Amino acid sequence: MPRLVVAVPVYNGEKYVAQSLESLLAQTFTDFELLVVDNASTDRTDEICRSFAARDARVRYVRNERNIGGGPNWNRTFELASPAPYFKWAAHDDLHAPRFLERCIEVLDRDPSVVLAFTEANLIDSDGNIIGSRKLDLPLSAPDRLVRFRSLLDSYDCFEIHGVIRRQALVDLGKPVLGMHLDGDGVLLARLALLGRFHEVDEPLFAYRRHATQTLAQFDNDHQAWVAWWDPATTGRRVLPQWRRQLELWRALAKTPVPPLDRLRGGVALAKWVKWRRRRFILEARAHATSLLRSLGRSSGAD
């Protein structure tokens, strides 16, 4: 049994997946399984990943019979992973410096109060050139779980989802690990923050690639399409992404195993957050109502 499973969900990643897998196999920490779950790619992803599996026994390649959607495929990687003590998601287009896993595992081995370890990051472009850097400015290492939880209420880049996580913490949160809704990764991080502290290694060992074909770039201005990426069952349905995200945060607070007093404090924090940002919910509800009325009007005209 390896100590860590690194899971790579991928779809049509022929341009970058080889670089990503190479950076993971070059890690100084070697006691891991590299699980690649291909969401029925139609390019050379299958060929590339099979070649890695043939050359390194740590690589396990699984190909879905059909495309099950982005969010479900991320959950499938966790379902298929060996029950190692530690788990990590890795995007098929990002890169990891050789000591990334080593430094994160050191932290988790040393401090049981930490549920997730990650590092500072560099931002790279499609050609691998550094175009920026990123250091966490949220109090995710604070001893108070509500301080950590409140800091994650606003949506942000969620780089920590690519850190090394205690598998038992993910199991304790129940299934599915990632919620099938907008910002499912952000809500998961908020739930993990209720369970324990996050630790950022003070060294940029992670490279987050920004390019035109990544999910963020494709759907940043189209939340409806992004919701369908998370959950294909919502395709063609009217949804309210911000309202759904907020509902999931309330559910997270209710389901996560925390003391009653902290659950009450979290509820107060969520209520205040909704009040402060009520405009975004009002605007989304108005847009939804307007769309619905227009649809009804077209339907009546057709009749």
pLDDT digits (tens, 9 = 90+) for 238-254: 777 778 888 888 888 88
Q: Looking at 44, 65, 92, which one is the last position of a domain?
A: 92
Residues 78 and 115 in one domain: no
Q: Looking at 70, 92, 114, which one is the last position of a domain?
A: 92
Residues 72 and 111 in one domain: no
Residues 123 and 161 in one domain: yes
Residues 288 and 301 in one domain: yes
Q: Provide the domain limits for residue 150.
A: 94-227+234-303
Residues 301 and 246 in one domain: yes
**Can you give the CATH number for the domain in which 15 is found?**
3.90.550.10
Residues 113 and 215 in one domain: yes
Residues 182 and 77 in one domain: no
Residues 102 and 210 in one domain: yes
Residues 6 and 107 in one domain: no
Q: Which CA distances in Å does 92 have to 14, 17, 78, 105, 169? A: 9, 5, 16, 21, 24
Residues 129 and 254 in one domain: yes
Rounded to the nearest 5 percent, the helix, strand and coil shares of the chain are 50, 20, 35
pLDDT at 230: 72
Residues 66 and 201 in one domain: no
pLDDT at 167: 97
pLDDT at 200: 96
Q: Looking at 34, 60, 92, which one is the last position of a domain?
A: 92
Q: Please state the domain count of the chain.
A: 2
The H or E element that residue 87 is part of is: strand 86-89
Residues 184 and 125 in one domain: yes
One pLDDT digit (tens) per residue for the chain, 303 residues:
899 999 999 999 999 999 999 999 999 999 999 999 999 999 999 999 999 999 999 999 999 999 998 889 999 999 999 999 999 999 999 999 999 999 999 999 999 999 999 999 999 999 999 999 988 888 999 999 999 999 988 766 788 999 999 999 999 988 888 888 778 888 999 999 999 999 999 999 999 998 777 676 566 666 667 677 777 777 767 777 778 888 888 888 888 888 899 989 989 988 988 887 888 778 877 877 776 666 666 655 555
